[in-house]
Amino acid sequence: MNHFLAREDFPHLLRALTQAGYDCVGPQIRQGAIVFDHLHSVTQLPQGWQDEQQPAHYRLEQTDSPYWFDWSNGASAIKPYTFAPQENLWTVQRDQSGRLRFQATLPKPQKTAIIGVRACDLAALALQDQHFLHGKHVDPYYQARRESLLLIGVNCTHAAATCFCVSTGDGPEIRQPYDLLLSEIAAGFLLSSGSTAGATLAAQLPLTPASNAQQHTAQQRMHAATQQQRHLPAKPPLFAHLDHPHWQTVGARCLACGNCTSVCPTCFCHQAVEIPDLDGDTSRHERRWDSCFQPGHSYIHGWQIRSNATDYYRQWLTHKLAGWHEQFGRSGCTGCGRCISWCPAGIDLTAEVEQLG
């Protein structure tokens, strides 16, 4: 990184984004957690806040530090900005002749700049791109939202106790494509651009050359985030252990609430719902997030393939950590650790894999 943006000059970035027509989104505190929301001023950023995470545990703590991004992650990744939790895909209407006419309802998203994207979430976005954009059939709904995004990544300097992105190879340093990349130090940010749009924005900022001392400090801070307590094997042999007794042990603890799939930045299961209007002539076809922990997820013509928490958890873990290698060439886990923190039963994916051999 060759450029430096002073902390007091950060509003220039927000101003440049707004003038370019972007709706700015950044991390803020809502109901005791860090979430992404509309950002109009740097005063909305979580200055001095740090997160403490353990299995079934998430707390924020206020410190007197000047940092805005000295936390690991919140419950929500950037997935809702591309894969909408609920959206209308098409409408169908019966005309006077009785013929059905279908009309796609493609979204028209506003240009959005997301500030503070983490390495694990950019890695997850690359996986979602692979599924929604790079397969045989492109999803135009996802594509419209994805093309509206400008991504400003911030390298992690703080790893929660639940993080294991080093073992998955996805963090804490950002390696996936970005538009702008920031590394935070006390006085401001080291900055580099990764796209034409990012370079155009950078050219409008009061940047100075980054000194060797500033670059060294940024590297030291990022190195601190590599000290992680948890580890995930690259390709655990789960398909060879489908009858392992530990599946029953973890199934007895699992509440089948689906929190793990909701907070996971790579999960993309969904269901289709028809919503007929009262006039009997029109209907909407909605896509909603679904979870493999829901009974209806495995329902096939009068038969439910998976019917209890043991089956749900085995399906989720074997698909994400083993099946994805066949589908996408890598694991479906990017080491963010959200499924550990936000599981009300404290089920720890890394610990369960270790037990399963």
Condensed to tens digits (0 to 9), the pLDDT of residues 146-174 reads 999 999 999 999 999 999 999 999 999 99
Tokens of 49: 């806040």
Q: What is the pLDDT of residues 192-246, one digit of tens each?
A: 999 999 999 999 999 999 999 999 999 999 999 999 989 999 999 999 999 999 9
Q: Residue 355 half-sphere exposure, CB side, CA atoms within 13 Å?
A: 15
User: What was the pLDDT predicted at 2?
Assistant: 84
**With 90 as the cut, is the pLDDT of residue 61 above it?**
yes
Residues 6+ apart with CB under 8 A from 113: 17, 22, 23, 24, 25, 149, 150, 151, 152
Q: Is the pLDDT of residue 301 over 90?
A: no
The arrangement of strands across the sheet holding 270-276 comes to 100-104, 86-94, 282-289, 270-276
pLDDT higher than threshold 70 for residue 140: yes
Which element (helix H / strand E) includes 94?
strand 86-94
Q: Looking at residue 122, what is its pLDDT?
A: 97
3-class secondary-structure state, position 298: helix
- How many whole angstroms separate alpha carbon 321 and alpha carbon 329? 11
CA angle, corner 87, sides to 85 and 89, nearest 5? 140
Contact yes or no for 349/339 (Cβ under 8 A):
yes
pTM: 0.94
Q: What is the pLDDT of residue 357?
A: 78
Contacting residues for 216 by C-beta, under 8 A, at least 6 apart: none
For residue 272, give both structure tokens: 């289709």
Give the tokens for residue 45: 């950023």
Give per-residue pLDDT as tens, 4-53. 999 999 999 999 999 999 999 999 999 999 999 999 999 999 999 999 99
Residue 76 has pLDDT above 90, yes or no: no
Task: Give CA separation, 280 vs 92, 93, 105, 285, in Å.
Answer: 11, 9, 20, 14
Q: What percent of the chain has pLDDT over 90?
A: 96
- The pLDDT score that the predictor gives to residue 1 is 60
The 10s digit of each residue's pLDDT in 77-91 is 899 999 999 999 999
Task: Report the helix count and the strand count for the chain, using DSSP H and E.
Answer: 12, 16
Q: Which of 142, 148, 211, 171 is nearest to 4 (CA)?
A: 211
Tens of pLDDT along 244-275? 999 999 999 999 999 999 999 999 999 999 99
pLDDT bin (cut points 50, 70, 90) of residue 184 is: very high
Q: What mean pLDDT, rounded, does the chain reach?
A: 96
Give the separation between CA 109 and CA 211, rounded to whole angstroms. Answer: 39
The three-point CA angle 133-136-139 to 5° equals 40
What's the one-letter identity of residue 214?
Answer: Q
Determine the Cα–Cα distance for residues 220 and 329; give it in Å rounded to an integer. Answer: 32
Q: Is there a contact between 341 and 160 (Cβ–Cβ < 8 Å)? A: yes
- Please report, rounded to a whole number, the percentage of residues in the chain having pLDDT higher than 70: 100
In this structure, the number of other CB atoms found within 10 A of the CB of residue 66 comes to 14
pLDDT of residue 258: 96
